[in-house]
Amino acid sequence: MIPTALRQTGANFRIPIMDDRIICAIATAPGRGSIGVLRISGNSLAGMAASLLGFRPAPRRAHFCDFLDEHGAILDRGIALFFPAPNSFTGEDVLELQGHGGRVVLESLRDRALALGARAARPGEFSERAFLNGKMDLVQAEAIADLIDADSRQAARSAIRTLTGDFSLRIQELTALLTQLRVQTESAIDFSDSDIEVLQWEELRQSLAGIIERLDRIHAQSRQGALLNQGITVVLAGLPNAGKSSLMNCLSGQQTAIVTPIPGTTRDVLSQRILVDDLPLQLIDTAGLRESGDVIEREGVNRARGAIETADVILLVIDSTLFPDRGEGLGANDLRQALRPLEEFLQNSEDRGDVLRRTSLVLNKTDLLPLPPAAEQTRIDGIELALIRLCARDGSGIDLLTNHLKTFVAFAGGEDAFVARARHLEAIEEAREQCRAATENLTAQSPLELIAEDLRLAQAALGRITGEVTSDDLLGEIFSRFCIGK
């Protein structure tokens, strides 16, 4: 009997393409450019290529030629490249026409391809076909989109690492190790009555410990990649006039938010993306937290609440001049008072502990007190809080805040990071949980069937990363976020 582990793995499971019509898209960014590319992919493209070019292009040769309309008139002149299946990006026949980068000329070329029977490609459809045809796995396909969207060189480097297959290889190695373990375990179930060598419990436990260690490592690298790729959301909250908008402007180096001495200046949620040493921060400036009779301000405060609930980090900005005599630092009561605007908002909320764990205090306007900028760690009612004193007006102490943010989310610079997304991290965490459960079952000498099931679930979680086990819905969701023509 073949153990289930072998029957379920190793097969390069691919979903058949439901719609195999020829697709086309302008692959270069909209706007003027010296070169514009029309990309066409499908089965049996040779006929369409002959109609567009007036001859059958040779495989993988650069032809400098005319691109023709239905009457043989020249639409544009450029380079045609033909990649017959299966040695192409999508695994199908691919024709690329590199012409001039003007909107009208490219649209005429695209319309010509449409008239010849192609349909407009959906965003990410070329990459989706490449995945479905087994040219790359899901993480590699996602890495293409991440490379295009990279905010920093480090993010681009980590996307390249994933694109070239490093991350997939690690996942495959782990999957292979899990397969071995499953085979060992399931063989022992199947043949437990025969005289086949009895499963070595200790050996199994050691192998599992090794796998968990590898999962820890890859999780850390992927987390760095996810930080480089997606960054963190930082919301600036606090009482009116505390200096939230000034802090936003100081961090971004731009005067995006309006700053005035009038409390209640900011009424909407303002958002700005910045980079701090390659770590992308989505800064969100909010309306001051207070009860207001003004309907616009009330709506602004509601939106501030929404932002606080979902942010990775909440910076509670405080006007230091509210604590004028505390040269030595704030006492427990001061801290409670400083936290009050947030506490009031969190009243009766189940998320209180969670929000406070994501919160740091920024004591602003140090220039008005004899207090130098500083960063310290403090504890209030069992909750660890960072406290950063700075001056948003002239920027002194701002580096203390940015360093704190990097430390707070454990951003290590991403030297050996793999570009990763939340779904990858979740899958790695699930695989790790299942391996831990298997270890506990081993220690308790539970029935082997339970351990085999834990290992199967761990393997399935890893399979979701590379796309070996993936639902159509997830694929649709992933590829729809790509740009058109990719």
Structure tokens at 299: 């709506």
Binding span for ligand GTP by CB under 6 A among 218-226, 322-330, 347-355, 388-396:
388-396
Identified binder of ligand GTP from the candidate list 243, 373, 414, 485, rule CB under 6 A: 243
In this structure, are residues 302 and 336 in contact, taking their beta carbons and an 8 Å threshold? no
Neighbours of 101 (CB within 10 A): 18
Among 395, 364, 397, 359, which Cα is nearest to 378's?
359
CA 96 to chain centre: 30
* Residue 393 binding ligand GTP, by CB under 6 A: yes
SS3 labels along 298-310: HHHHHHHHHHHHH
In the numeric block, the tokens 């026409």 are attached to 97
In the numeric block, the tokens 């999957």 are attached to 175
Instruction: Compare residues 162 and 245 and give the one whose CB is closer to Mg ion.
Output: 245
Task: Say whether the peptide bond before residue 86 is cis (omega within 30 degrees of 0).
Answer: yes
CB 301, min distance to ligand GTP, A: 10
Binding span for ligand GTP by CB under 6 A among 144-152, 171-179, 306-314, 391-399:
391-399
Instruction: Compare residues 100 and 393 and give the one whose CB is closer to ligand GTP.
Output: 393
CA 460 to chain centre: 21
Q: Hey, what amino acid is at 53?
A: L
Element (H, E) at 388: strand 383-389
* Residue 240 binding ligand GTP, by CB under 6 A: yes
Please tell me whether residue 126 adopts helix, strand or coil conformation. Answer: helix
Cα separation, 408 vs 261, in Å, equals 31
Instruction: Compare residues 117 and 263 and give the one whose CB is closer to ligand GTP.
Output: 263
Cα separation, 125 vs 122, in Å, equals 5
DSSP conformation letters of 269-282: -EEEEEEETTEEEE
Element (H, E) at 216: helix 201-230
* Residue 242 binding ligand GTP, by CB under 6 A: yes
Structure tokens at 359: 């919160």
Structure tokens at 324: 């004028």
What is the DSSP pairing of strand 232-238 with strand 313-319? parallel
Instruction: Compare residues 207 and 256 and give the one whose CB is closer to Mg ion.
Output: 256
Cα separation, 375 vs 401, in Å, equals 8
Identified binder of ligand GTP from the candidate list 168, 179, 224, 245, rule CB under 6 A: 245
Instruction: Compare residues 102 and 264 and give the one whose CB is closer to ligand GTP.
Output: 264
Binding span for ligand GTP by CB under 6 A among 23-31, 234-242, 372-380, 445-453:
234-242
CB 302, min distance to Mg ion, A: 16
Instruction: Compare residues 135 and 244 and give the one whose CB is closer to ligand GTP.
Output: 244
Identified binder of ligand GTP from the candidate list 80, 259, 314, 465, rule CB under 6 A: 259
Residue closest to ligand GTP when measured from CB atoms: 288
* Residue 222 binding ligand GTP, by CB under 6 A: no
**From residue 325, how far is each of 116, 322, 367, 385 by CA, in Å?**
79, 9, 14, 21
Q: Which residues are at the interface with Mg ion (CB under 5 A)?
A: 244-245, 265-266
In this structure, are residues 96 and 45 in contact, taking their beta carbons and an 8 Å threshold? no
CB 276, min distance to ligand GTP, A: 19
391 binds, among ligand GTP, Mg ion, none (CB under 5 to 8 A by kind): ligand GTP
Instruction: Compare residues 319 and 429 and give the one whose CB is closer to Mg ion.
Output: 319
161 binds, among Mg ion, ligand GTP, none (CB under 5 to 8 A by kind): none
* Residue 292 binding ligand GTP, by CB under 6 A: no
CB 311, min distance to ligand GTP, A: 16
90 binds, among Mg ion, ligand GTP, none (CB under 5 to 8 A by kind): none
Residues 23-82 touching ligand GTP, rule: CB under 6 A, are none
DSSP 91: S
Identified binder of ligand GTP from the candidate list 152, 172, 180, 265, rule CB under 6 A: 265
Neighbours of 189 (CB within 10 A): 15
Cα separation, 61 vs 64, in Å, equals 10
Instruction: Compare residues 111 and 394 and give the one whose CB is closer to ligand GTP.
Output: 394
Binding span for ligand GTP by CB under 6 A among 106-114, 183-191, 257-265, 454-462:
257-265
CB 395, min distance to ligand GTP, A: 9
Binding span for ligand GTP by CB under 6 A among 39-47, 89-97, 256-264, 355-363:
256-264
In this structure, are residues 98 and 79 in contact, taking their beta carbons and an 8 Å threshold? yes
Binding mask 349-368 for ligand GTP (x = CB under 6 A): ---------------xx-xx
Instruction: Compare residues 402 and 446 and give the one whose CB is closer to ligand GTP.
Output: 402
Contact positions toward ligand GTP, by CB under 6 A? 240-246, 259-261, 263-266, 287-288, 364-365, 367-368, 391-393
